[in-house]
Amino acid sequence: MHMSDSLVSAAVGTTMAVVSAGAVGYSIKMIKDTDLNSNKIPMMGVMGAFVFAAQMINFTIPGTGSSGHIGGGILLAAILGPFAAFLSITSVLIIQALFFGDGGLLALGCNIFNMGVLSCFVAYPLIYKRILRRTVTPKKLSVASILSVVFGLQLGAFCVVLETTASGITNLPITAFLLLMQPIHLAIGIVEGVITGAVLCFVYKARAEIITGALYQKAIKSSVRRVLIVFALATVITGGFLSYFASNNPDGLEWAIHGITGGQELTGNSGNHTAIQELQDKTAVMPDYSFEGEDKKHLGTGVSGVLGGTITLAATIFLGLIIMLFKKKKIAKTTISDTE
C-alpha cells in the first residue's frame, strides 16, 4: 500500500511529512529503557530487516487479480513495543523509498502515517492490547493479530483515499475509490493477520518473555539469541530466495486505481513532482528491486532483499544505539543536577 508521488500534492505530502516527523520525535521521547536494552536493540534491527524482506513477497488474493504484502506494523509492535516498532517501520519505509524507489519521496510522510502511525499508535493499543490485557494465550494472540491488522489496514486504506482526494491532482472519485480500496484491503488484512498471528505464536512458544515484555513494558532478561538467529535466517531466505516467487499481480492500491482508470498510469504534473522524481532516480540504486534490464530482474530481486535487509538491520541498530546513548547521557545529567 505504498503511495506514489502521483497521488499526492506538495501541500498534502508536506503536511503528512510534518505529522510523521512529529510521531518520530514523540516515539524517541517516549521510548523506555525496556525498549532499548542489550536484547531489544538487536531485535529492532533483525525484525526491521525481516519486515523489509517480508514486504517483498506479494501474495495473490484469489479471484481478484490483485495481491498484497504484509505491512508489519502490528508484528513489530507486538515484539518491540509501539515506539521502537514505529521507529523500525519508519526506517524500513525510508530505505525502500530512497534506495529502491518503492513509494514516493513526496508521499513518504503519508506512507509512514498510513502504515506506521495507524498500526503502532491506533490499532495496537485499541485492539491488540485490549484483547491481551489480562492473559496471553496462542488463541488470543491469533485473534488479536488478525483483528488489529485488519483494523489498521482498513484505516490505512481509508487514509490513502482521503490523502489522494485532498491532494486533488487525480481523477479518482472518492466513492468509487473507497468501494474498491476497503474490500480488497480487508482480504489482504485477513491474510496478513493470519501470517502475523502465526509468527507471534512461534515467538511466544520460543520465548514468551518477548511478547509479554513488549505488552507490559518489561525488560527482557533472558537471552533471545535463538530467536534472533531464526529471524536472521528467515530474512535471508525470504529476501534472497522466496521473493523470487512473489505474485506479479498489482497490489491492492494499484488494483483499485486500475479498476477506476482502466490501467491508465498516473503521473505527477507539477514541477515539484518532476524535481522529486529526479532526486529519487539518483538515490534509488536498485529501482523496483531489480538491476537494469529485464533479464536480471529475478537476480536483482534476491540481491535487493538481502541488501535492503542488511541496510535496514544496520540503520535500525544504529538508530537504537544513538537513542540509548542520548537517553543515558540525559539521565546522567539529571542525576548530577539532583545531587548538586
Domain parsing of the chain, residue ranges:
5-339
Distance of CA 149 to the CA centre of its chain: 12
Sign of the CA dihedral running 117, 308, 313, 51: positive
User: Which residue shows C-alpha cell 507490559?
Assistant: 216
Query: How far apart are the C-alpha atoms of 130 and 64, rounded to whole Å?
Result: 33
CA-to-CA distance for 312 and 315, rounded, in angstroms? 5
Per-residue cell: 23: 510521531
Question: In this predicted model, what pLDDT tens digit does every residue of 261-315 receive, in sequence order?
Answer: 887 567 666 678 889 989 999 999 888 888 766 555 567 788 899 999 999 999 9
| Reported pTM | 0.93
Write out pLDDT tens, residues 149-174.
999 999 999 999 999 999 999 889 99
Q: What is the mean pLDDT of residues 42-68?
A: 94
Whether residue 304 contacts residue 290, with contact meaning beta carbons closer than 8 Å, is answered with: yes
Give the number of C-alpha atoms closer than 13 A to the C-alpha of residue 238, restricted to the C-beta side: 24
Q: Taking a C-beta distance cutoff of 8 angstroms, is the pair 236, 309 a contact?
A: yes
Q: How many CA atoms lie less than 13 Å away from 83 in the CB half-sphere?
A: 19
Q: What is the pLDDT of residues 116-155, one digit of tens each?
A: 999 999 999 999 999 999 899 999 999 999 999 999 999 9
> Selecting from 3.90.110.10, 3.40.640.10, 1.10.1760.20, 3.40.1410.10, what CATH number does the domain 5-339 have?
1.10.1760.20
127 Cβ neighbours under 8 A, 6+ residues apart: 144, 147, 148, 151, 152
Q: Is 67:58 a contact under the CB 8 Å cutoff? A: yes
Length of the chain: 340
Q: Judge residue 211's burial from the number of C-beta atoms within 10 Å of its C-beta, 0-12 exposed, 13-18 middle, 19 or more buried.
A: buried
Tell me how far apart the alpha carbons of residues 283 and 340 are, in angstroms, rounded to a whole number.
50
**Closest by alpha carbon to 301, among 55, 60, 5, 90?**
55
| pLDDT tens by residue, 1-27 | 899 999 999 999 999 999 999 999 999
Cell 521521547, residue located: 29
Dihedrals φ, ψ of 251, to 5°? -75, 180
Helix (H) or strand (E) holding 286: none
Which DSSP state fits 251?
A: B
